[in-house]
A and B are shown apart, each in its own frame.
Chain A
Amino acid sequence: MKQRLLIIEDNEQNLYMMRFLLEKKGFEVTGAETGKKGITEALKNKPRAILLDIQLPEMNGYEVAEELKKHKELCNIPIIAVTSYAMAGDRERILAAGATGYIEKPINPETFVSEINQYLLRE
């Protein structure tokens, strides 16, 4: 059975690229452009993991992570932050908000899927 992943990413190209890479490696990927849609989608489908962008419209990544952790059925789903935020404290901040992994943008297409796999295996 294919593992289902949820990507919450507002940039269409990036979402497409990540979906492309992951689907090529046998993942089932759902995408959401906003945090709200992402939470709804997560509640509906219960993904294996959630790839979360930080800079999102309306609701930012930290808030989404906090919100996800509030739901009992979702709080155990690993959250992997994929972000171009590289300022000091960003990594700590998102980890504190509940993320289990952190991948810096721009992603390396050659190593991206293996990085995801490493986080999934860690669980």
Chain B
Amino acid sequence: MLFIVFPTFYIIINTNKTGTAMKSISNENIKSDFYCFPYFYELLYNLRIKVRCNVNSRKLQNCRKNPFCLFFSILLLINTFHLPADINKKIVNIGIYENSPKVFISESGKPAGIFIDIIKYIAEKEGWELNFVSGTWGEGLDRLEKGEIDLMPDVAKTANREEIFSFHEIPVLSSWFQVYTKKGNKIQSILDLDGKRIAVLERSVQEESFNALAKGLELNVTILPLSDYKKCFDIVLSGEADAAITNRFYGLTHAGKSGLKDTAVIFNPTTLFFAASKYSDRTLLETIDKHLSALKKDTHSVYYTSLKQWISEESVSNFPQWLKLIFVLVLLLLLISLTGSVILKYQVNIRTEELSRNNEQMHIMEKTLRLTATKPEMQEILNNFLLGALKLTKIKSGTLYLTDYKTERLVKSASVNVPDDASFSCLHNLSEINSSSFMSKSFKNNSPYVDLSFQIIFPLAAHNQNIGALCLFSEKEIVFNQITVNLIKNLCATVAVTITNSRLYEEIRAHEKELEFEVARRTDELKTAMERAQDADRIKSAFLATMSHELRTPLNSIIGFTGIILQELPGPINEEQRKQMLMVQNSSRHLLALINDVLDISKIEAGELKLLITTFDVKTSIEKVVNMIMPQSEKKGLKLNIHIAGDVGISKTDQRRLEQVILNLLNNAVKFTEQGSISLSCSTLDSNYILSVADTGIGITHENLSSIFQPFHQIDSGLSRNHEGTGLGLSICMKLLDLMGGSITAESRPDEGSTFKITFPGIDGVKT
């Protein structure tokens, strides 16, 4: 068991291979010396870094406070008390000299080395008390020979020595001799030693065997025997000797440190033993053999531990300071990087979590936006928005308020899991927000408002206009990260626009409905109006029919009886009577003409006038009309010129109406011409006929010419009614010709006369 005490604390590591070291320390009453290793014991142990420390009183004081420390202190005390119990112990005197690492006096003045560790172990087991007698190698051998000491460690077995000393059977170590020289000296084989001065340990096997070797090889060497190995190296270093021969144990551990280097010259394998005095107890050697045999079998035994420890000790001490520093630095770096990586991993974990949360939030955000943007129904938009916001914040309840346009008050528009009191207090806050200066600050900046009862209120604003608020109710205080806040703000902004759009959409729809209603109403009105108009039309038609009958019936009598009297059918009449009866006849005929014209124009305008299309000879019709007008023109002394082209033949239209038109034109010509002539000509024009009536009458001024086809137009109306007429004639003519698919034009110069031209369909009728 090894106690490893850290400068301020302790660390105990259980290892049975170091147990002996503890015991040996105890044997020598080294009670407070511990092998202390820092935290990485194993690592340092492998690198053979030994840190020694003394446990001072303060540390012990600290130690006592700890139960483990106390426990081990007690163990230590038990050990200490136990040790001097055996008073009649066998005392073994051992010679000791400088031959590290096999045998030497340590810096603290204590015997140490591989041989010492082994003999200490044996002594411990056998209950011997060891008594170390120090001196040189030579002195030691002398003392052993004289029997002043019992054992001499590290003695090679030779024939000479076996005569004067006793040896046990199992060798402790085996070794070679090696030649060491100053750096720069070129000694590559034993032959290179020729003529050199060689330092050796006096009375050693090296001296003996090298002498024999040199003689055998006939080398001329100067042997310089010295009392210990150190001196051998020293004189090589100072130049008094060229090379030194030592065993490899000593050479390996000391050459580098002394500034010498090893050569390739290795010779004479030797086995090393404890040599005993001829006078000492023979059982001593047997006991050593017994233990050696056991120790060598067990790889964890003190034999191997010691071997490991001492052989590499010098290399440990050779461990350069800078390497240690680098090591410590590397260790520090390792620690830092380890800590760093742990922290990094922690941060990465946090960030990953954050990212996955953000990802989830983005997902919710996207879904909410999609749901709110694609639904036309306001309530659906609001519900989806509220649910999305709750998911984003992981809050369970919330309410959405919208500002009513008309009242400008906040109206609860959607709600999830909201208790009444929360809703109430939210309204309270909102009214504050709406009214107070708070509005102009954070609420207007689209920032959430968080109050003491863990309500989080996000404003909803679209086009810089506040349209409502999103209130979330948390059961505990919630701190949002900036991303979440931004997300909700963005969501609020987007949805606010959507809500505004939806409202506009709804308004538009309301308008649409209003319009539809209005259109339906107007349609109804129009329908009614049309029905009324149709009724009126029917009434008008009926009226026209009635008028036609009722006006003509009395006229029928007047005209008829006048005609009968003038024919003197009832009896003869005198001249005065005839004259007056003619006046009655004229007036009644005029009245009939008026009535007919009014009825005609009314019928045309009512669409009641239907043409009766027949085929007839145009020339015959013209002659018929001319015959009708002839008496009047002759009466006024007007010359009537008729010219009908040879190709004028059949027309397909309403004969009676065409005759009416021609009669009207001729009537006008006679009426407005006092002297001169009236010329009628007719010819074909393409598939139509063209007929013109020209007179040498009063003519029409240019400005009047455009309005002569208007109904109720007579140029000199108002002043002196020189000319009878309704003013409807030309208007009727134009309308009739329109119906027939013909046309009428007029040319005139005042006081020179007028020319009216009409076209009407030929044999093929109206070309469509």
Contacts and interface: CB of A to CB of B under 8 A. Distances in A.
Interface stretch (A32-40, A41-49, A69-77, A104-112): A104-112
Nearest to A55: B549
Nearest to A24: B569
27 contacts: A11-B557, A13-B554, A13-B556, A13-B561, A14-B556, A17-B560, A17-B561, A21-B560, A21-B569, A85-B545, A85-B548, A86-B548, A86-B552, A86-B596, A87-B544, A87-B545, A87-B548, A89-B610, A91-B612, A105-B552, A106-B559, A107-B559, A108-B563, A109-B559, A109-B563, A109-B564, A110-B563
Nearest to B607: A88
Contacts of A109: 559-564, 567, 569
Contact of A17 (B564, B609, B610, B612): B564
B522 to A, nearest CB: 34
Contacts of B374: none
B650 interface: no
Given A14-B560, A106-B592, 4 more contacts: A11-B557, A21-B560, A86-B599, A106-B552
B569 A106 contact: no
B603 interface: yes
Interface string B296-338: 0000000000000000000000000000000000000000000
A83 B612 CA distance: 18
Nearest to B545: A87
B555 interface: yes
Q: Across chains A and B, which 3 residue pairs bring their CB atoms closest together, nearest first?
A: A109-B563, A88-B610, A106-B556
Interface residues of A, number: 25
The winner among A87, A91, A107 for most chain B CB atoms within 10 A is: A87
A94 B603 CA distance: 20
Nearest to A111: B563
B608 A87 contact: yes
Given A20-B564, A109-B564, A88 B553 contact: no
Contacts of B560: 14, 17-18, 21, 106-107, 109, 112
Interface string B551-595: 011111111111110010110000000000000000000001000
Contacts of B552: 84, 86, 105-106
Interface SS, A side: loop
A49 B609 CA distance: 31
A83 B553 CA distance: 9
The winner among B556, B558, B564, B569 for most chain A CB atoms within 10 A is: B556
Contact of A88 (B554, B557, B592, B609): B609
Contacts of B610: 88-89
B603 A87 contact: yes
A14 to B, nearest CB: 6
A21 B564 contact: yes
A29 B87 CA distance: 196
A84 B553 CA distance: 7
B174 to A, nearest CB: 156
Interface of B: 541, 544-545, 548-549, 552-564, 567, 569-570, 592, 596, 599, 603, 608-610, 612
Nearest to B561: A17
A89 B603 CA distance: 12
B638 to A, nearest CB: 25
Contact of B608 (A24, A88, A92): A88
Nearest to A109: B563
Contacts of A108: 559, 563
Contacts of B541: 87
Contacts of A17: 556-557, 560-561, 564
Nearest to B554: A13
Given A85-B549, A87-B545, A107 B556 contact: yes
Interface SS, B side: helix
A108 B599 CA distance: 20
Contacts of B609: 88
A85 to B, nearest CB: 7
Nearest to A112: B560
A21 B561 CA distance: 10
A85 B541 CA distance: 12
Contacts of B564: 17, 20-21, 109
Given A86-B548, A87-B544, A88-B609, A105 B553 contact: yes
Nearest to B546: A55
Contacts of B592: 106
The winner among A11, A17, A89 for most chain B CB atoms within 10 A is: A17
Interface in A99-123: 105-110, 112
Given A21-B564, A88-B608, A106-B592, A13 B557 contact: yes
Nearest to B550: A84
Given A24-B569, A88-B610, A107-B560, A14 B553 contact: yes
B599 to A, nearest CB: 7
Contacts of B561: 13, 17, 109
Given A84-B548, A86-B548, A109-B560, A11 B553 contact: yes
A112 B596 CA distance: 20
A109 to B, nearest CB: 3
A88 B564 CA distance: 30
Contact of A14 (B557, B603, B608): B557
Nearest to A84: B552
A13 B612 CA distance: 32
Contacts of B608: 87-88
B609 to A, nearest CB: 6
B595 to A, nearest CB: 10
Contacts of B544: 87
Contacts of B556: 11, 13-14, 17, 84, 105-107
Nearest to A21: B564
A104 to B, nearest CB: 9
A14 B549 CA distance: 13
Contacts of B555: 106
Contacts of A112: 560
A91 B654 CA distance: 14
Contacts of B558: 106
Nearest to A110: B563
B563 A84 contact: no
A88 B560 CA distance: 24
A106 B610 CA distance: 21
The winner among B545, B560, B569, B612 for most chain A CB atoms within 10 A is: B560
B542 to A, nearest CB: 10
Interface in A1-24: 11, 13-14, 17-18, 20-21, 24
A24 B608 CA distance: 39
A109 B553 CA distance: 14
A87 B596 CA distance: 11
A106 B563 CA distance: 11
Interface string A60-98: 000000000000000000000001111111011000000
Nearest to A89: B610
Nearest to A18: B560
A90 to B, nearest CB: 9
Contacts of A110: 563, 567
Nearest to A82: B556
Contacts of A83: 549
B377 to A, nearest CB: 61
Contacts of A105: 552-553, 556
A112 B557 CA distance: 13
A116 B637 CA distance: 35
The winner among B554, B563, B569 for most chain A CB atoms within 10 A is: B563
A109 B557 CA distance: 10
A52 B438 CA distance: 100
Contacts of A55: 549
Nearest to B589: A106
